[in-house]
Amino acid sequence: MATIKDVALHAGVTVTTVSRVLNNRGYISEKTRQKVYESMRALNYQPNELARALYKKQSKVVGVVVPSLLHPYFSACVHYLEKYAARQGYKIMVCNSKRERKSEIEYIEMLKSNKVVGIVLCTRTGELADILDDSLPVVTLERSISDKIPAIMCDNYQGGVLAARCLLDRGRTGIAVFPGQPKVQLPGELRVTGFLDTCRQAGVEPIVVATDESQFAARDYRGTIRAALCAYPEIDGVFATSDVMAAQVIQECAKVGRSIPQDVSLVGFDDVDIASLTTPPLTTIHQPLEQMCEYAVDGILRKLRGETVPVKTILPVSRVDRESV
């Protein structure tokens, strides 16, 4: 593997000159610059990006911390964050905390040490504001941790309203909602609030069937769903607060002989890929995740330039009608 010394020797210049070309520092004639580039190509020289980042005290990398890479929602987050970072000439470094606060803290410190330009946090554990400071741009997705750190989220409350209206407009009265119970308060809880408020305004009291954080981690809600369907035979409408959960509602309804949408109308939330792959395809609340990720990357780069970024950005949701209602 070629080194910077090999490039200098091949080009007939000093190592300092090659370094200046690589870091775009100081005056270098165009003729010399081209000689260095030609030598780099001839020797297939690959600059040490980490070393350059440490030298320049900054990289071209955005750090991303997610609680799970197996969950479809966070897999989609990583996909879109990489897409929009690449458009701006940046790469991403992904850290999977597995929902552990200790891991989140360790990864944040590691990202700082690697001189990332900023961090996008998609976390679900305790507060992290105490380990973050103004020296590094940070943006959160679907989480608000400080009145100084920009948060990008969807209109969760309106999503709950849209889900409720969808079921109520079809005459459903035995309505159940499956909310999660995360360890900390998250904006996603507002989708349940919006749903309950709308149902109650219509004179319908929903059946609330709580799920817990361990079920989110395992992505397995089937036992709770089956128990609810058996305990409440009057259920004729369900709002599942994620598409992963909604897909399992379809499975469990089939097992207990309940047909969707004839016996039970079902609405999910997120509109990740799984929503169009179930049988029947899932009516769901579309969260503008791609746009949220674009805003997150843009927020990091704007903060890097010293620009003002809104502390809270809430993007609208919409209902996607398929065949489960």
Query: Is residue 15 over pLDDT 90?
Result: no
What's the number of domains the chain is made of? Answer: 3
Query: Is residue 25 over pLDDT 80?
Result: no
Does 137 share its domain with 240?
A: no
Query: Quick check: is 92 in a domain?
Result: yes
Does 257 share its domain with 184?
A: yes
Does 164 share its domain with 82?
A: no
Does 299 share its domain with 272?
A: no
Token readout for 318 is 């919409």
Query: Quick check: is 99 in a domain?
Result: yes
Mean pLDDT of the chain: 87
**Local confidence band at 49 (pLDDT 50, 70, 90 cut-offs):** low
Which of 48-62, 134-148, 169-183 has the least mean pLDDT? 48-62
The widest CA-to-CA distance across the chain, in whole angstroms, is: 84
Buried b (16+ CB within 10 A) or exposed e, 9-47: bbbebeeebbbbbbeeeeebeeebeebbeebbeebebee
Which of 5-19, 25-39, 259-273 has the least mean pLDDT? 25-39
**Local confidence band at 58 (pLDDT 50, 70, 90 cut-offs):** low
Contacts of 137 (CB under 8 A, 6+ apart): 117, 118, 119, 299, 300, 303, 304
Does 272 share its domain with 160?
A: yes
Query: Is residue 99 over pLDDT 50?
Result: yes
Does 40 share its domain with 184?
A: no
pLDDT confidence of residue 104: 85
Over the stretch 194-246, which tens digit does the pLDDT of each residue have?
Answer: 999 999 999 999 999 887 777 776 677 888 899 999 999 999 999 999 999 99
Does 32 share its domain with 108?
A: no
Query: What is the Cα–Cα distance from 203 to 275, expressed in whole angstroms?
Result: 30
Which of 58-62, 87-91, 126-130, 253-257 has the least mean pLDDT? 126-130
CATH (domain of 93): 3.40.50.2300
CATH (domain of 22): 1.10.260.40
Does 253 share its domain with 186?
A: yes
Query: Quick check: 176 and 209 in contact, CB under 8 A?
Result: yes
Does 246 share its domain with 197?
A: yes
**Local confidence band at 54 (pLDDT 50, 70, 90 cut-offs):** very low
Contacts of 105 (CB under 8 A, 6+ apart): 128, 131
pTM above 0.95, yes or no: no
Query: Quick check: is 325 in a domain?
Result: no
DSSP string computed for 214-262: HHHHHT--HHHHHHHHHH-TT--EEEESSHHHHHHHHHHHHHTT--TTT
Question: HSE (CB half, 13 Å, CA atoms) of 147?
Answer: 0
Question: HSE (CB half, 13 Å, CA atoms) of 191?
Answer: 31
Query: Quick check: is 324 in a domain?
Result: no
Buried b (16+ CB within 10 A) or exposed e, 54-75: eeeeebbbbbbbbbbeebbbbe
Over the stretch 264-297, which tens digit does the pLDDT of each residue have?
Answer: 999 999 999 999 999 999 999 999 999 999 999 9
Query: What is the Cα–Cα distance from 235 to 229, expressed in whole angstroms?
Result: 7
| Closest listed residue to residue 144, CA positions, set 94, 84, 189 | 189
Contacts of 78 (CB under 8 A, 6+ apart): 64, 66, 69, 92, 94
Query: Quick check: is 30 in a domain?
Result: yes
Which of 38-47, 55-64, 236-245, 294-303 has the least mean pLDDT? 55-64
Does 145 share its domain with 165?
A: no
Does 283 share its domain with 296?
A: no
- Helix, strand, coil percentages for the chain (3-state, nearest 5): 45, 15, 40
Query: Is residue 29 over pLDDT 50?
Result: yes
Over the stretch 144-167, which tens digit does the pLDDT of each residue have?
Answer: 888 888 999 999 999 999 999 999
Does 146 share its domain with 223?
A: no
Query: What is the Cα–Cα distance from 1 to 6, expressed in whole angstroms?
Result: 9
Token readout for 263 is 């016996």
| Enclosing domain of residue 162 | 156-287
Query: Quick check: 219 and 71 in contact, CB under 8 A?
Result: yes
